[in-house]
Amino acid sequence: MEGSKTSRPTIVTIVSILTLLGAIANLGMAFGGASTLGLPAWMRPLSLIIAIGSAASFWGLWKMRTWGFYLYAALIVINQVVAISTSGFNVVSLVVSVAFVAALYKHLPEMK
C-alpha cells in the first residue's frame, strides 16, 4: 500500500511562501542592497547565509519536515538579534515572528 499523503496546513503553506520571499529579499541584500541602504559591511555575507538558510527552511516546511521548523525558528532568533544590533528592532515584527513560530509548532506533530 502506498503511503498516505498528508495535506499541508494552510498556515504552513503561507509561512513557507513568506520564507521563500524572505530568501529572495536577502539575496538582494547580499548582492548590493545592504551597501545601498548604508548597513554595515558584515550584513552582505550574513544576508547570503540567511538567504540560503531561508531557502532550505522553505523547502523543509513545504515538505512538512521537522528540521524545516527548527531551522525557521533558529533563523527568527538570528534575525531578531541582528535587528537589535543594527537598531532595526521592531515589536510588530517580533510579535508576528513569534505568532508564526507558535502556529508552526502547533503542526509539528504532523511533520516528519
| This prediction's pTM | 0.88
Domain assignment of residue 105, yes or no: yes
On whether the CB atoms of residues 9 and 104 are closer than 8 A, the answer is no
pLDDT number for residue 6: 59
What is the number of structural domains in the chain? 1
Tell me the mean pLDDT per 10 residues along the chain, length 112.
68 98 93 74 90 98 98 96 89 96 97 96
Tell me the backbone φ, ψ of residue 35, rounded to 5 degrees. -70, -35
SS3 (DSSP) at 2: coil
**Size of the chain in residues:** 112
Task: Return the half-sphere exposure (C-beta side, CA atoms, 13 A cut-off) of residue 87.
Answer: 3
Q: Is residue 3 one of the residues assigned to a domain?
A: no
**Measured between alpha carbons, how far is 42 from 46 in angstroms, rounded to an integer?**
6
Structural domain contains residue 5: no
Q: Please check whether residue 4 lies inside any domain of the structure.
A: no
Q: Could you tell me if residue 1 is inside a domain?
A: no
Q: Please indicate, yes or no, if residue 37 is contained in any of the structural domains.
A: yes
Show the domain range for 60: 10-110
